[in-house]
């Protein structure tokens, strides 16, 4: 009689472990939701105003307008800025579709700009080329949506002078970066406004859809508050402008109030994990670079590997129970819905190259060191000992 010895398969890991966070929070969220069920003010209940105050205190913005999701947060600002036909709005191509989608909602033209190969964020030289291209096409340059990709703020000290020189407003798409810092400035205090998302997988996420706009401009905030409730005036049956239904549910605000309490500690943990990953992987892959004086929230930890081996690495890690993700396999200027729109004039080679190279590893604050080490060993083994740096 023969016996077959089989090695047990390693248990699969989570890419983002929301259950671990829930365990850490104990009954806090259950109790917060129960309180909303008790008072019954499901729309614009007291937790919404409390959350807005606490978010403002957290990041230092004068005004916070919570809303339905990160896409609507962007759209509310474009609505307030009265973006319309003939306007050009500049945004990176290497981003999530929502950044450009909202530009189309208002019949404006998105002009796609390239990104920097190290930070994945908007390249100011490409922005200049995009502005020239828009003018050639007879469009009116209106504003810029810079994206803080994967949790790192864009290089605002380089982008702001370009905006000023051309009279453009700057909207920060901080869907992935709320909680991050750009030199002395916290995300939420840069540009004319900042939009974020509280989608569950974001660094600060609720249990459904949610978002917020941050601004230091009280007049803009007043318009945003009106737009979020169908353009209300003195009350919601007084309509002074065209708006939308863009409110944040009270239950989601209650969840976020509890999660905000542990958010600073979670940001510390994310940074510690990123540092360990960097130290352990820098010799086999291109690890992410954070600008000096800046702090990322590590919505994603993204390495670069050689394009020819990326899918093999993904498969080998999957077989080891290690999930990965590719953000983004196609830059927006190559997507069917967006490819008719202009690009900054050089074909956006960095965005196209990154789409072939990037690979995001599991990242969340509840990854213990043993699990990090398991991920690192598997990644090193899959890459094959330092031959594929993706440079």
Ligand X SMILES: Cc1ncc(COP(=O)(O)O)c(C=O)c1O
**Which residues form the interface with ligand X (CB under 6 A)?**
69-71, 95-96, 98-99, 147, 173, 175-176, 197, 199, 209, 211
Alpha-carbon gap, residue 2 to 325, rounded angstroms: 41
Least spacing, CB of residue 125 vs ligand X, in Å: 22
Least spacing, CB of residue 124 vs ligand X, in Å: 19
CA distances from 226 to 105, 169, 237, 250 (A): 19, 21, 11, 18
- Our CB check for ligand X shows the closer of 199 and 277 to be 199
- Our CB check for ligand X shows the closer of 33 and 97 to be 97
- Our CB check for ligand X shows the closer of 173 and 258 to be 173
Alpha-carbon gap, residue 354 to 32, rounded angstroms: 42
- Our CB check for ligand X shows the closer of 115 and 147 to be 147
Question: Which residue has the closest beta carbon to ligand X?
Answer: 70
| Residue 157: Cβ within 10 Å count | 13
Residue 209 near residue 220 (C-beta atoms within 8 A): no
Least spacing, CB of residue 71 vs ligand X, in Å: 3
Alpha-carbon gap, residue 168 to 140, rounded angstroms: 10
Least spacing, CB of residue 69 vs ligand X, in Å: 4
Alpha-carbon gap, residue 169 to 154, rounded angstroms: 15
Eight-state DSSP code of residue 151: G
Residue 170 near residue 160 (C-beta atoms within 8 A): yes
Least spacing, CB of residue 319 vs ligand X, in Å: 28
Beta bridge partners of 112: 91, 343
Least spacing, CB of residue 348 vs ligand X, in Å: 17
| Residue 275: Cβ within 10 Å count | 10
CA distances from 288 to 3, 109, 358 (A): 47, 31, 10
Least spacing, CB of residue 316 vs ligand X, in Å: 27
CA 33, 35, 41, 44 dihedral sign is negative
- Our CB check for ligand X shows the closer of 81 and 166 to be 81
- Our CB check for ligand X shows the closer of 114 and 166 to be 114
Alpha-carbon gap, residue 250 to 52, rounded angstroms: 12
Least spacing, CB of residue 14 vs ligand X, in Å: 18
Please give the backbone phi and psi of residue 196, each rounded to the nearest 5 degrees, phi first.
-130, 170
Alpha-carbon gap, residue 132 to 126, rounded angstroms: 10
Least spacing, CB of residue 132 vs ligand X, in Å: 25
Alpha-carbon gap, residue 9 to 12, rounded angstroms: 9
In terms of C-beta density within 10 A (0-12 exposed, 13-18 middle, 19 or more buried), how is residue 239 classed?
A: middle
């Amino acid at each position: 009689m023969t016996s077959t010895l089989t090695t047990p398969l390693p248990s699969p890991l989570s890419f983002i472990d929301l259950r671990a966070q829930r365990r850490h929070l104990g009954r806090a969220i259950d109790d917060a939701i129960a309180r909303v069920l008790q008072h019954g003010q499901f729309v614009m209940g007291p937790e919404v105003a409390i959350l807005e105050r606490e978010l403002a205190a957290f990041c230092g913005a004068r005004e916070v307008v919570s809303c339905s999701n990160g896409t609507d947060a962007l759209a509310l600002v474009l609505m307030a800025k009265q973006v319309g036909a003939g306007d050009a709005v500049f945004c990176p191509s290497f981003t999530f579709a929502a950044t450009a989608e909202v530009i189309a909602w208002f019949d404006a033209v998105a002009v796609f700009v390239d990104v920097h190969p190290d930070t994945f964020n908007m390249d100011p030289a490409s922005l200049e080329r995009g502005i020239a291209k828009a003018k050639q096409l007879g469009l009116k340059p209106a504003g810029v949506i810079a994206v803080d990709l994967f949790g790192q703020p864009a290089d605002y000290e380089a982008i702001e002078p370009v905006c000023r020189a051309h009279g453009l407003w700057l909207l920060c798409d901080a869907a992935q970066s709320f909680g991050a810092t750009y030199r002395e400035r916290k995300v939420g205090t840069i540009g004319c406004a900042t939009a974020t998302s509280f989608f569950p997988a974001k660094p600060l996420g609720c249990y459904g859809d949610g978002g917020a706009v941050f601004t230091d401009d009280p007049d803009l905030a007043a318009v945003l508050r009106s737009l979020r409730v169908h353009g209300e005036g003195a009350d919601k049956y007084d309509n002074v402008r065209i708006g939308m239904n863009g409110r944040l549910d009270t239950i989601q605000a209650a969840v976020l109030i509890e999660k905000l309490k542990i958010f600073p500690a979670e940001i510390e943990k994310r940074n510690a994990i990123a540092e360990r990953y960097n130290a352990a992987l820098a010799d086999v892959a291109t690890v992410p670079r954070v600008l000096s004086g800046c702090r990322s929230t590590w919505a994603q930890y993204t390495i670069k590997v050689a394009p020819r081996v990326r899918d093999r690495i993904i498969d080998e890690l999957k077989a080891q129970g290690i999930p990965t993700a590719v953000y983004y396999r196609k830059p927006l200027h190559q997507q069917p819905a967006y490819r008719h729109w202009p690009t900054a004039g050089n074909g956006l080679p960095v965005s196209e190259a990154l789409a072939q190279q990037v690979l995001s590893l599991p990242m969340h604050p509840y990854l213990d060191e043993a699990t990090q080490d398991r991920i690192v060993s598997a990644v090193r083994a899959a890459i094959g000992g330092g031959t594929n740096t993706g440079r």
